[in-house]
A and B are shown apart, each in its own frame.
Chain A
Amino acid sequence: MEKTLKRTVVVLFFLLIFGLSLAHILLPDTEISVSERRYLDTFPEITASKVFSGRYFTELEAYLLDQFPLREEFRTVKALTEFYALDMGETGGIMLSEGHLLPVEAVFHEGQAALAVEKMNDIVETCLDGEAYLAIVPDKGYFLGEETPREIISYVTEGVHARYIDITDLLSLDDFYTTDSHWRQENILPLARELCRELGVPVVPAAGYSRADCGTFYGVYAGQSALPCAPDAMAYLVSGGTENALVHSIETGDMAVYDPAAIGNVDPYDVFLGGPQAVVTIENPNAVSDRHIVIFRDSFASSLAPLMIDSFREITLVDLRYVRSDLLGEYVDFENADILFLYSTSMLNTASLLK
């Protein structure tokens, strides 16, 4: 028995290291990690300077890690070990609470929030030709009692020269995807209607919206944690406004409000208004008001703005992560326009990303 045991141990070990090594050589490289939403490293180019500086071997290690056979499965092994075997309560910075994946509570970065306040006040001073409003989307942790989102909301609402519209009471944890940071559009129609009322525009009856499903997806936290979990179903709400509005992006040109096929993209949230875009204008000649609103936003507004189309003649979405604020005059017409700052707490806590 002893002899068999020794042979088994040795054979198993060699099978593993030689087998995975061979698989690494034989299997074709993968271009994208869908779960992590990033391009994977390719085989590094050899140059003498890179070899003698040691940089080549660093790049080679990164390539080997990225293209490792069964990489996703190995990541899951780690996640399961940390989360269940070691009961660490989190893996890859992601925890599981009340059926939701969400990041471990971040520390409140006052300096970042101060940058956000400064940026918004600059815009109020230089661009405003109507009223200024502020609404803040709480992260999922807010609904689990975390302090950081509350600290951010308190700090920013006190500092920004705009009327604050509190939308936290209109949301609950169930209004967010379980594997992603974003809210579910099909759940936020009441919030959108309330927001429009606060912005002083009429709203169309909720019955005017119908739901359409576009499939399932794994959100950003599923990829980050590598924990096995059920995918989220994505749906969107269609109205006369969303069907007929004219949408234009300064980067990609004309597009539809929704692109259900984009659920297969690296970022499935591209379904809504083409995903991350610097400046998007939505025109609806049939809107119930002739008001124009400029929304300074992050990705949450991509699914919220379609629900405001019926109320505004024109909505302009500006994402300051992709366009410099001092160049806004070239792309955005602020005349007679109100401004709404709509940011999530996590965006406000990393505001140095705003240009």
Chain B
Amino acid sequence: MLFSSVSFLYVFLPAVLLVYGLVPKKWKNHVLLASSLLFYFVGEPIYVLLLIISSLSDWLHSLYIENHRGEKSAKIALVSSLVINLAMLGFFKYADFLLTTVNDLFGTSIPLTKVPLPIGISFFTFQTMSYTIDVYRGDAKAEKNLATFATFVCLFPQLIAGPVVRYTDISTELHERSVCMDDLYIGVKRFVRGLARKVLIANAMGEFCSLYREAAEPSVVFAWLYAIAYALQIYYDFAGYSDMAIGLGRMFGFKFPENFDSPYRSKSITEFWRRWHMTLGGWFRDYLYIPLGGNRVPKARWLLNIAVVWAATGIWHGAAWNFVLWGLYFGALLVLEKLFLGNWLKKLGAVVQHIYVIFTVLVSFVIFNARSLPQIGQDLGRMFGAEGIPLWSSETGTRLSGYFLLFFAAVLFVTPLAEKLIAVMRRKSLGRGIIAVLEPVLIAAAVITVTGFLVDGSFNPFLYFRF
């Protein structure tokens, strides 16, 4: 089930909010667990068993680890838990990728499994793995109550597309939480903001990308516009979904970690990755990069660590070589920045730094969105006039004029301008008065407009489902 669907907005959410609000405190986790399983069942009727098995496995392993702390068997239990999680992920997500690669390399014809990818498997396996590791390390106490633990794993606001919430982030709230007017206000605002970002901007940018793919008259400018549109689509899509998740969590009394912090304002790729998909970056840092030795190792080993972490980051996003390339591309940029590029750029000033980030990120998302390795070459080549395509075409003009305001709005909202304006307004009493009137009106208008788009629209993909 998508958050940006009529069945979620007008059936599931009101029903869950109503029941959750009515039941006594001790039943609230059970309501959340049952509704989360239903939420997953709607999208994946069979794979809901996988979710249950995963929860049960990690709950049992962690209890064992806690009861045998310091013993060798605790380590064996940890390894067993990780193997089960990684085997699940490996089979459902990477088996066919591996088989295809083997077939391509050796000319074999090993049949593919053709097993469909369970929605959100990369998210929930990473969450459960971090929990077991935290219990092993002593950073978290093993949860005794299976229902409470399963509520953490299955919690529908963050189940299928993150943020990658760790048990330690919400362990207190899993046992004791309350919802006040402030939580509801912040939750509603955040949820509606995410909904509008996803439905009004990301979907429209996605349509523009489709128009580029179908273009009869591609041009260099059209290729760049496509790159910009896709970078905006993926940001508004994923950041919008994270907003919705964080907002929903807040409505039920959970404070999920932030996942995006205006990444396109960054002045380096290092900074970009501190602002983009922060919970995943944090996961790889704490559970892979640092255990590998981080940067406190000889240079050659450090370079290997970077390569491993970024190849893993890339392939986490999808079982295809373009994702591996995308991850390694960022790994290489990060290494270069640490070695010399970062200092060079600082000397050149903020404008050059921003141009560098925008350029490298646009290139990265062209790689990310390619359907095959040859298409990476084609898409990037077109941005620089390959295939003899013209600089401009009448179709480019037609499409740009149709989407100009959307581009303008989408770019405007990734700059700090709107936030600064609101901050200035909040300092004056007149400004606060205007906000008091405008905010409810804008939120209601956003819900109504989004509903209009949902009721009439058929174009509502969600990019991060495949991860």
Query: In the assembled complex, which residues on chain B have CB atoms less than 8 Å from the CB atom of A14?
Result: 17
Q: Contact check, A17 vs B10: say whether CB atoms are below 8 A apart.
A: yes
Query: In the assembled complex, which residues on chain A have CB atoms less than 8 Å from the CB atom of B440?
Result: 5, 8-9, 12
Q: Contact check, A9 vs B216: say whether CB atoms are below 8 A apart.
A: no
Q: How many Å lie between the Cα of A78 and that of B455 in the bound state?
A: 9
Q: Contact check, B188 vs A81: say whether CB atoms are below 8 A apart.
A: no
Those of B336-361 within 8 Å (CB) of chain A = none
Stretch at the interface among A56-64, A173-181, A258-266: A56-64
Q: How many Å lie between the Cα of A60 and that of B404 in the bound state?
A: 36
Q: Contact check, A53 vs B45: say whether CB atoms are below 8 A apart.
A: yes
Query: In the assembled complex, which residues on chain B have CB atoms less than 8 Å from the CB atom of A60?
Result: 7
From B10, B18, B435, B449, residue with most partner A Cβ within 10 Å: B10
Q: How many Å lie between the Cα of A128 and that of B431 in the bound state?
A: 79
Closest A residue to B453 by beta carbon equals: A78
- Chain A nearest Cβ from B157, distance in angstroms: 15
Contact with B along A1-32 (1 / 0, CB 8 A): 11111111110111011101100100000000
Known contacts A60-B7, A61-B7: does B456 contact A4 (CB below 8 Å)? no
Q: Which of B204, B433, B448 contacts A1 (CB 8 A)?
A: B433
Q: How many Å lie between the Cα of A85 and that of B439 in the bound state?
A: 19
Closest A residue to B444 by beta carbon equals: A12
Q: Contact check, A9 vs B406: say whether CB atoms are below 8 A apart.
A: no
Q: Which of B10, B192, B200, B449 contacts A21 (CB 8 A)?
A: B10
Q: Which of A7, A54, A65, A226 contacts B454 (CB 8 A)?
A: A65
Q: How many Å lie between the Cα of A285 and that of B405 in the bound state?
A: 62
Q: Contact check, A81 vs B449: say whether CB atoms are below 8 A apart.
A: yes
- Chain A nearest Cβ from B9, distance in angstroms: 6
Stretch at the interface among A68-76, A187-195, A229-237, A306-314: A68-76
A208 close to B (CB within 8 Å):
no
Q: Contact check, A75 vs B456: say whether CB atoms are below 8 A apart.
A: yes
Count residues of chain B with CB under 8 A from any CB of chain A.
51
A87 close to B (CB within 8 Å):
yes
From B14, B42, B444, B455, residue with most partner A Cβ within 10 Å: B455
Q: Contact check, B451 vs A86: say whether CB atoms are below 8 A apart.
A: no
Main secondary structure of the interface of B (DSSP, over half): helix
Contact with A along B160-200 (1 / 0, CB 8 A): 00000000000000000000011011001100100000001
- Chain A nearest Cβ from B77, distance in angstroms: 34
Those of A83-136 within 8 Å (CB) of chain B = 85-90, 92, 107
Q: Contact check, A64 vs B181: say whether CB atoms are below 8 A apart.
A: no
Q: Contact check, B44 vs A88: say whether CB atoms are below 8 A apart.
A: no
B100 close to A (CB within 8 Å):
no
Contact with A along B16-32 (1 / 0, CB 8 A): 01100000000000000
Query: In the assembled complex, which residues on chain B have CB atoms less than 8 Å from the CB atom of A206?
Result: none
Q: Contact check, B456 vs A13: say whether CB atoms are below 8 A apart.
A: no
Known contacts A9-B188, A52-B46: does B452 contact A17 (CB below 8 Å)? no
Query: In the assembled complex, which residues on chain A have CB atoms less than 8 Å from the CB atom of B270?
Result: none
Known contacts A6-B182, A77-B449, A86-B405: does B454 contact A20 (CB below 8 Å)? no
A51 close to B (CB within 8 Å):
yes
Q: How many Å lie between the Cα of A9 and that of B448 in the bound state?
A: 14
Known contacts A21-B10, A74-B452: does B436 contact A4 (CB below 8 Å)? yes
Q: Which of A10, A64, A76, A81 contacts B10 (CB 8 A)?
A: A64
Main secondary structure of the interface of A (DSSP, over half): helix
Known contacts A12-B443, A74-B452: does B188 contact A89 (CB below 8 Å)? no
Query: In the assembled complex, which residues on chain B have CB atoms less than 8 Å from the CB atom of A53?
Result: 45
Q: Which of A4, A5, A65, A81 contacts B455 (CB 8 A)?
A: A65
Q: Which of B44, B188, B200, B204 contacts A10 (CB 8 A)?
A: B188
Q: Contact check, A5 vs B5: say whether CB atoms are below 8 A apart.
A: no
Query: In the assembled complex, which residues on chain A have CB atoms less than 8 Å from the CB atom of B436?
Result: 1-2, 4-5
Query: In the assembled complex, which residues on chain A have CB atoms less than 8 Å from the CB atom of B455?
Result: 65, 68, 71, 74-75, 78
- Chain A nearest Cβ from B25, distance in angstroms: 21
Q: Contact check, A16 vs B6: say whether CB atoms are below 8 A apart.
A: no
Closest A residue to B191 by beta carbon equals: A13
Q: Which of B46, B406, B452 contacts A86 (CB 8 A)?
A: B406
Q: How many Å lie between the Cα of A342 and that of B450 in the bound state?
A: 43
Q: Which of A61, A64, A87, A226 contacts B456 (CB 8 A)?
A: A226
B447 close to A (CB within 8 Å):
yes
Q: How many Å lie between the Cα of A18 and that of B19 in the bound state?
A: 13
Query: In the assembled complex, which residues on chain A have CB atoms less than 8 Å from the CB atom of B453?
Result: 78, 81
Known contacts A86-B405, A92-B456: does B6 contact A9 (CB below 8 Å)? no
B385 close to A (CB within 8 Å):
no
Query: In the assembled complex, which residues on chain A have CB atoms less than 8 Å from the CB atom of B405?
Result: 85-88
Q: How many Å lie between the Cα of A4 and that of B443 in the bound state?
A: 15
Q: How many Å lie between the Cα of A74 and that of B457 in the bound state?
A: 11
Q: Contact check, A64 vs B11: say whether CB atoms are below 8 A apart.
A: yes
Contact with A along B416-444 (1 / 0, CB 8 A): 00000000000000001101100110011
Q: Contact check, B454 vs A13: say whether CB atoms are below 8 A apart.
A: no
Q: Which of A7, A18, A20, A87 contacts B404 (CB 8 A)?
A: A87
- Chain B nearest Cβ from A321, distance in angstroms: 25
Query: In the assembled complex, which residues on chain B have CB atoms less than 8 Å from the CB atom of A92?
Result: 456
Q: Contact check, B456 vs A6: say whether CB atoms are below 8 A apart.
A: no
**Could you list 30 A-B pairs, sorted by A, with CB under 8 Å?**
A1-B432, A1-B436, A2-B436, A5-B440, A6-B181, A6-B182, A6-B184, A8-B440, A12-B443, A13-B443, A13-B444, A17-B14, A17-B447, A21-B15, A52-B45, A57-B42, A61-B6, A64-B11, A65-B6, A68-B451, A74-B455, A75-B455, A77-B452, A78-B452, A79-B456, A81-B452, A87-B405, A88-B406, A89-B402, A90-B402
**Apart from A9-B189, A54-B43, 12 more pairs, CB < 8 Å:** A3-B181, A17-B14, A17-B447, A57-B1, A64-B10, A75-B455, A77-B448, A77-B452, A78-B452, A78-B455, A87-B404, A88-B405
Interface residues of A (CB under 8 A from B): 1-10, 12-14, 16-18, 20-21, 24, 51-54, 57, 60-61, 64-65, 68, 71, 74-79, 81, 85-90, 92, 107, 226
Interface residues of B (CB under 8 A from A): 1, 5-7, 9-11, 13-15, 17-18, 42-46, 181-182, 184-185, 188-189, 192, 200, 204, 216, 401-406, 432-433, 435-436, 439-440, 443-444, 447-449, 451-457
Nearest first, the 5 A-B pairs at minimum CB distance are A77-B452, A78-B452, A6-B185, A74-B452, A74-B455
